[in-house]
Structure 1
Amino acid sequence: MIVPEPPPAPTLYDWAGGHEALVELLTIFYGHVLEDPLLEPVFRDMDPHHAEHVAVWLGEVFGGPAGYSASHGGHAHMIGRHLGRGITERQRRRWVSLLLDAADEAGLPADPEFRAAFAGYLEWGSRLAVIFSAPGAEPNLHEPVPRWDWPVPPWQPSSP
């Protein structure tokens, strides 16, 4: 008996719902950030298009189009946005918590595999942001945009 191979896993970007879903997520998120006393001072003067730019970043990280590298300066630009900001562990934790809540509010997929990948990236990326934002930090500006993938492919019913 030949068992058919499962279909290839979609990218995290596609599974999340693509660009529009990420823009919605980040618009909701940054709305909450501006109401949060711990995070508002960090984001008070953000560009009005910040949510869209971060959606392009997250899209590229999650396997979507390489728009951040093509139009926004890639990894070096993202690191540069954090240099010297002195992000605290308390701020980092609050940022992650609000973004996880915004994922629920935006209706991002709630399956365990996607949420594990999403939460894993938030933890990893936010911890790097703390390191890169510390006084005297000298991160490598020549690294590519990271690519995040499934820890375990999402469960999908087998085809008959």
Structure 2
Amino acid sequence: MAKEIKSTAEEKVIPTLYEWVGGMQVFEKLTAVFYEKVLQDELLAPVFRHMSSQHQLHVAHFIAEVFGGPKTYSHEEGSHYEMIRKHMGRHLTEQHRKRWVALLLEIVDEICLPDDPEFRSAFVGYIEWGTRLAVMNSNSDDIKEGEHVPMPKWGWGETEGPYIQD
């Protein structure tokens, strides 16, 4: 699935995490399989059982956009501010967060997302960061961010990805 992306023989183009995964259909599959399992999970099901049938697609579009994909979420479905608002008052716990992350990473392996250390480091880094914010926001009474807070953008981070070859 993962491959080197070049624009010319001399110039190497660094792919986005979105491109490295394989595009929107991969994110949509990830969240579809994930939320199917969430609804069967004893700890997480009570939190998610009343979510709309579109929830999994919104999450797929949000993460895809954060990873450099199309702006489907911010142009058609919401904003980062609205995502923060959706978590308020949910009173998520650290146990919810840890289980959500563990289950998501099981699904990442199950559907065979790229397993190179650089991608997985970037993916886990974002999931850790995002879920910790979700727990904080879910236990807060006010939003510290303004309405126009931009969507997060997540890339390869400090590692040099596998797209660099000598």
Fold match, TM over 0.5? Answer: yes
Cα distance, 1:6 vs structure 2: 6.0
In structure 1, how many angstroms separate the alpha carbons of the residues matched to 2:94 and 2:142? Answer: 16
- Which of the numbers 56, 64, 67 marks the counterpart of 2:69? 64
TM-score by length of 1: 0.91
Instruction: Tell me, yes or no, if structure 1 residue 123 matches structure 2 residue 135.
Output: no
| Percent sequence identity over aligned pairs | 48
Q: Deviations over 1:11-43 (max 9, x none)?
A: 000101110000001111101100111100110
3-state secondary structure, aligned to 1:45 = coil
In structure 1, how many angstroms separate the alpha carbons of the residues matched to 2:70 and 2:44? Answer: 29
- Which of the numbers 103, 107, 113 marks the counterpart of 2:108? 103
In structure 2, how many angstroms separate the alpha carbons of the residues matched to 1:137 and 1:88? Answer: 18
Q: Deviations over 1:111-152 (max 9, x none)?
A: 000000000000000000011000424231431110000022
In structure 2, how many angstroms separate the alpha carbons of the residues matched to 1:24 and 1:81? Answer: 23
Match of 2:160 in 1: 153
Cα distance, 1:75 vs structure 2: 0.5
Match of 2:79 in 1: 74
TM-score by length of 2: 0.88
**Structure 1 residues 83-102: aligned runs within 5 Å:** 83-102=88-107
Cα distance, 1:157 vs structure 2: 6.4
Partner AA of 2:89 in structure 1: G
In structure 1, how many angstroms separate the alpha carbons of the residues matched to 2:160 and 2:67? Answer: 14
In structure 1, how many angstroms separate the alpha carbons of the residues matched to 2:118 and 2:165? Answer: 17
In structure 2, how many angstroms separate the alpha carbons of the residues matched to 1:30 and 1:114? Answer: 22
Match of 2:32 in 1: 27
In structure 2, how many angstroms separate the alpha carbons of the residues matched to 1:92 and 1:130? Answer: 7
Match of 2:5 in 1: none
3-state secondary structure, aligned to 1:81 = helix
**Unmatched runs of 5 consecutive residues or more in structure 1:** none
Contact residue 84 and residue 143 of structure 2 kept, 8 A: no
Contact residue 132 and residue 139 of structure 1 kept, 8 A: no
- C-alpha distance 38-142 of structure 1, shift in aligned 2 (>3 A): same
Contact residue 14 and residue 163 of structure 2 kept, 8 A: no
Cα distance, 1:156 vs structure 2: 3.3
In structure 2, how many angstroms separate the alpha carbons of the residues matched to 1:104 and 1:64? Answer: 21
In structure 1, how many angstroms separate the alpha carbons of the residues matched to 2:45 and 2:28? Answer: 20
Instruction: Tell me, yes or no, if structure 1 residue 142 matches structure 2 residue 148.
Output: yes
